[in-house]
Structure 1
């Protein structure tokens, strides 16, 4: 499956548009991460626990996005975007969305 933030990846053309697909996950903070983040805020720097949490959430949302495109028979998802939102106290959603398509390779120019 080709995943791209571009509307039309180089060397390919869209032969069939299958529709909007999305994948999301809602994650909550871990008490241990919150304590470490609070300490880190006092001295500054990266909040690694939250970075890991965001990476895990983004990966899971992407896997769900791919599964939705697979169900439609797509071989690619184009124009992929990510969004985050707070859901109540201590929880956040990561949403991945894009357009499921069938791509074909463009013949090489001679």
Structure 2
């Protein structure tokens, strides 16, 4: 599956638009990570526990986007974007979305 953040894929043409595709992941922080992160925040700098959590969430959201686009019959996704938000206390949502399309080599 070709996935790009651009409107076009060099060397390919869009022959059919299947529609919007998305992948959503919601994660809760664990109490252990919260405690470690609290201590790290006192010193400043990167909080690696949260960075790893969000990186994993983005990857899983992208995987789910690809799965959704495949189920729609697409062979590519254009205009990939990510969005994130906080849901409740200690929970984060990461969504990957784009347009599922069928492309052919030019």
TM-superposed deviation, 1:96: 0.6
2:85 paired with 1:91? no
TM-score if structure 1 supplies the norm length?
Answer: 0.93
Pairwise CA RMSD of aligned residues? 0.7
TM-superposed deviation, 1:59: 0.9
CA distance in 2, matches of 1:30, 1:45: 20
**5+ long unaligned stretches in structure 2:** none
Question: Larger Rg: 1 or 2?
Answer: 1
TM-score if structure 2 supplies the norm length?
Answer: 0.97
Counterpart in the other structure of 1:78? 78
Q: Which moved more, 1:30-39 or 1:86-95?
A: 30-39
Superposition misfits of 4+ residues, deviation over 6 angstroms:
none
Q: Secondary structure at the match of 1:33?
A: helix
Counterpart in the other structure of 1:58? 58
Write the mapping of 1:1-110 to structure 2, written as runs, cut at 5 A.
1-106=1-106
TM-superposed deviation, 1:92: 0.7
